[in-house]
Amino acid sequence: MVSASRPRLLLRQLHRVMAGPGSGQERLDRVVQEIARNMVAEVCSVYLVRPGNRLELFSTQGLKQAAVHKTSLKVGEGLVGLIAESGVPLNLPEASAHPKYVYLPETGEEVYHSFLGVPIIRNGLVVGALIVQNETQRHYTGEEVEAVQTVAMVLAELMGSGELIDPKELSGAGKDPYEPVTLEALTLADGIAAGVAVFHEPKIDIEHLVAEDIDVEQARLADGITQLREGLDRMLVASDMPLAGEHHDILETYKMFAYDRGWQERMVEAVDSGLTAETAVERAQQDIRARMAQTRDPYLRERLSDLEDLSNRLIRIILGYSGEHAHQQLHEPSIIIARAIGVAELLDYDRKYLKGVVLEEGSPTAHVTIVARALGIPMLGRVPGLGDRLADGDRVIVDGDMSRVCIRPTDDLDRAYTESLAGRQELAAEYAAQRDLPAVTKDGVAIDLYMNAGLLIDLASLETTNAAGIGLFRTEFQFMVSSTLPRMKAQTEIYGQVLEAAGDRPVVFRTLDIGGDKRVPFLPYVEEDNPALGWRAIRLALDRPALLRYQIRALLTAAIGRVLYVMFPMVADISEFMQAREIVEAEVARMEKLGKKLPREVKIGSMLEVPALAWQLDRLLEIADFLSIGTNDLMQFFFASDRGNPKLANRYDLMSPAALSFIHSVSEKCNAAKVPVTLCGEMGSRPLEAMALIGLGLTKLSISPPSIGPVKMMLRNLDLGEFSSFLRPLLSSPEHSLRDILKAYAEERHIPI
């Protein structure tokens, strides 16, 4: 096989062959022969993707020539199909031992044992596979794998010429371009939006792969990296940047990757192997994608996504595009379409016209998702093949409520969404008009409507909604976006800003709910089969008490002279609450001993998220100052149904008699013990469900800020005494759900739900 010193020579030889005479097939055959000769491989084969998700043998040196254009595999079938499906190289000393191995007698490959295959990638899509094989059993070295990957990039250039396969096949064309399409998605940031499709960073073809002058290319790479870093520095200090606090931390972390030495060294080495600067960046980018495909670590995937975003930015800078505005400028309401997008890329767009984002990938905990939520930009993710289903300028509707994206909607559907958006704007005006009206039912029962928050930018909603306070402040975001454990001073500043914004209104701080799928970089990642039920929240905090102690110290310092509300998440056993409370009391005693000022009062409560705790309520309510019902986790544990699994979406209903009876029993116990109880799950954010909860005796709800207006409007039209008398006998109903019954009740009485 090729040594580390020979890739440059091989690239030049292949480049000459591709620029020479002959048809595309003839040049491909010569390229394959040249690769086999230079790499001392008995076999070199190229498979290309054809319609029907098939991989066709297009050329070979070493296998039977009669198999060319006759042999094919489905994507996902055999070793070649596995490479095309995963987009990841496959390196095997004995091919037949792999469980995906498929024997193809017409090729005569049975005598070859070792197998190295890499994907041929063009414009981010796998368009084929390059395979080398040897008779001897051997594991190819890392240098050999990189050499074959580099050669695959050259083959991708031949694929783009259109001489082998019609470019329409590569782009997924052939479908009716005017056909309306509705695709399921994952809601990353709530909301509904409509606009024209705008591709984020339209595809740029890299025309020159092989370097003419290595020194010139190294200088282009170094200059590009410098421009990249300077651009990020300008973004961080921009006076009009609508970010603060944890958002600044996100950009700082993002910037840190631009200084990653390993990333830069890989690109320098790729240029040394004979590639141009832009191709070297793309080569490193393919490595990043391969690592993303192989890791199940959600945190690592998100960090690799940041690095890939920087690669896109760097390629455009090297090719002469503006670093800060490398993509299309928006001139009308637009929906950004992308495979993935980074924080800096999102912030480049004009907020006046940016209405929504749809991603082929995307993660609920990714940095860009957190920023999109904070800025109120509807975002959908997990829509594979999205780029092949639409074109620039197509009409697109983003429906975060129903978790779907509508492409080229019919006139009727478009009209319905347009009316819906107009109706939302009218309702928003009505909600704003009732901002200062009390949250009181028709028969005079006061209901406290608090808001949930987790980011500093959320705090503006305290004034716009006139919420009674913050019933749940999620403290983990600051930890999730920081590359190191946030220092106590930084934590204190964040908590102080939250309390300052709230003024005299109460703020309930939930201690860290990290672990599971909320990965933080300063703790070792432990892969778990079921992270929702794993090492997270209070379990992690009690095993790592220093984390909890430092957070409590920061909270105590930030709340000097105020009432501090501290709440522990995921408590399953009363002993856990007692241990956590002892830590708080020890920190209070420590501050007293040091002569430091303290909060006026410290109130300590628990989340009810684990059903087991409900059977210990009598004892818990003797020692807890307040209780919060977290229905998001509580109900999925109650029904043993993953709320994130779309196949289980209709398996249970939060309005079932069983669920409502359970919540009613908790409410009654808290009221009897005179312990304040708040419901802080998303269940309370929907007017119909909120009506049921209020009817069960709950008078405190902590909900998403946009839900405060709709819920307040509902309860101001509700006769609570009459409704409670109607609802409670229904709790023993055998019905699967009371939803339709309660909906009819509301409609008959003109209660807006």
What percentage of residues in the chain have a pLDDT greater than 90?
44
**Contact assessment for residue 90 and residue 116, using Cβ atoms and an 8 Å cutoff:** yes
Phi, psi of 55 (to 5 degrees): -110, 115
Strand 563-568 with 601-608, pairing: parallel
Per-residue pLDDT at 303: 63
Of the pLDDT bands very low, low, confident and very high (cuts 50, 70, 90), residue 241 is very low
Query: How far apart, in whole angstroms, are the C-alpha atoms of residue 744 and residue 207?
Result: 64
Query: How far apart, in whole angstroms, are the C-alpha atoms of residue 344 and residue 230?
Result: 13
Of the pLDDT bands very low, low, confident and very high (cuts 50, 70, 90), residue 3 is very low
The helix-helix angle for 705-715 and 687-695 (nearest 10°) equals 60
Query: How far apart, in whole angstroms, are the C-alpha atoms of residue 277 and residue 316?
Result: 11
Per-residue pLDDT at 365: 62
Residue 339 sits at the vertex; the CA angle it makes with 336 and 341, to the nearest 5 degrees, is 65
How high is the mean pLDDT of the chain?
84
Indicate the pTM of the whole model.
0.63
Summarize pLDDT for 670-688 with one digit per residue, the tens: 999 999 999 998 889 889 9
Per-residue pLDDT at 294: 61
Owner of token pair 């430092």: 550
Question: Strand order of the sheet with strand 54-61?
Answer: 72-74, 54-61, 43-50, 125-134, 114-122, 90-92
Per-residue pLDDT at 172: 46
Q: Is the pLDDT of residue 248 over 70?
A: no
Per-residue CA distances from 568 to 249, 448, 589, 601, 681 (Å) = 25, 21, 19, 17, 15
Q: Is the pLDDT of residue 439 over 90?
A: yes
Per-residue pLDDT at 23: 85
The tokens describing 416, both together, are 């319905």
Q: Is the pLDDT of residue 129 over 60?
A: yes
Winning range, highest mean pLDDT, from 244-248, 316-320, 614-618, 648-652: 614-618
Residues 600-605: what's their mean pLDDT? 96
Phi, psi of 438 (to 5 degrees): -70, 150
Q: Is the pLDDT of residue 109 over 50?
A: yes
Query: How far apart, in whole angstroms, are the C-alpha atoms of residue 154 and residue 273?
Result: 13
Query: How far apart, in whole angstroms, are the C-alpha atoms of residue 228 and residue 267?
Result: 14
What is the largest distance, in Å, between two alpha-carbon atoms of the chain?
A: 90
Q: Identify any residues that bridge with 399 across adjacent strands, giving them in sequence order.
A: 192, 404
Q: Which helix (H) or strand (E) holds 535?
A: none
Q: Which of 258-272, 291-305, 325-339, 522-536 has the lowest mean pLDDT?
A: 291-305
**Contact assessment for residue 175 and residue 130, using Cβ atoms and an 8 Å cutoff:** no
**Contact assessment for residue 508 and residue 470, using Cβ atoms and an 8 Å cutoff:** yes
Of 181 and 479, the one with more pLDDT: 181
Q: Is the dihedral of CA 544, 549, 550, 555 positive or negative?
A: positive
Three-state secondary-structure class, residue 58: strand
Owner of token pair 């651009």: 231
77, 81, 83, 84 alpha-carbon torsion, rounded to 10°: -130
Owner of token pair 């083959």: 155
**Contact assessment for residue 445 and residue 724, using Cβ atoms and an 8 Å cutoff:** no
Per-residue pLDDT at 312: 80
Q: Which amino acid is at 289?
A: R
Query: How far apart, in whole angstroms, are the C-alpha atoms of residue 753 and residue 746?
Result: 7
Query: How far apart, in whole angstroms, are the C-alpha atoms of residue 120 and residue 129?
Result: 5
The tokens describing 411, both together, are 């006139």
Q: Is the pLDDT of residue 459 over 90?
A: no
Non-local (6+) Cβ contacts of 752 within 8 A are 687, 710, 713, 714, 717, 746
Q: Is the pLDDT of residue 663 over 90?
A: yes
Summarize pLDDT for 204-215 with one digit per residue, the tens: 667 788 888 899
Phi, psi of 657 (to 5 degrees): -55, -35
Residues 487-491: what's their mean pLDDT? 85
Query: How far apart, in whole angstroms, are the C-alpha atoms of residue 582 and residue 627?
Result: 17
Summarize pLDDT for 160-191 with one digit per residue, the tens: 666 777 655 555 443 444 578 888 898 888 88
Query: How far apart, in whole angstroms, are the C-alpha atoms of residue 126 and residue 117?
Result: 13
CB < 8 Å & 24+ apart, contacts of 588-592: 588/556, 591/553, 591/556
Of the pLDDT bands very low, low, confident and very high (cuts 50, 70, 90), residue 47 is very high
Q: Is the pLDDT of residue 641 over 90?
A: no
Per-residue pLDDT at 176: 47
Domain ranges of the chain: 7-170
Of the candidates 356, 376, 453, the one whose C-alpha atom is nearest the C-alpha of residue 705 is 453
Of the pLDDT bands very low, low, confident and very high (cuts 50, 70, 90), residue 648 is low
What does the H/E/C string look like for 552-612? HHHHHHHCCCCEEEEEECCCCCHHHHHHHHHHHHHHHHHHHHCCCCCCCEEEEEEEECCHH
CATH architecture of 7-170: 2-Layer Sandwich (3.30)
Per-residue CA distances from 7 to 39, 44, 88, 365, 415 (Å) = 10, 16, 21, 40, 58
User: How close are the terminal C-alpha atoms of the chain, in Å?
Assistant: 70
381, 387, 390, 395 alpha-carbon torsion, rounded to 10°: 40
Summarize pLDDT for 192-203 with one digit per residue, the tens: 899 999 988 655
Q: Is the pLDDT of residue 577 over 70?
A: yes
Of the pLDDT bands very low, low, confident and very high (cuts 50, 70, 90), residue 240 is very low
Of 395 and 376, the one with more pLDDT: 395
Three-state secondary-structure class, residue 392: coil
Q: What is the CA radius of gyration of the chain?
A: 30
**Contact assessment for residue 299 and residue 521, using Cβ atoms and an 8 Å cutoff:** yes
Summarize pLDDT for 380-414 with one digit per residue, the tens: 998 887 877 888 889 999 998 888 999 999 888 88
Q: Which of 413-427, 522-536, 702-716, 738-752 has the lowest mean pLDDT?
A: 522-536
Q: Is the pLDDT of residue 347 over 70?
A: yes
Non-local (6+) Cβ contacts of 593 within 8 A are none
Of the candidates 501, 479, 101, 15, the one whose C-alpha atom is nearest the C-alpha of residue 279 is 15
Q: Is the pLDDT of residue 486 over 80?
A: no
The tokens describing 707, both together, are 């839900």
Q: Which of 286-300, 686-700, 706-720 has the lowest mean pLDDT?
A: 286-300
Of the candidates 540, 554, 536, 558, the one whose C-alpha atom is nearest the C-alpha of residue 487 is 554
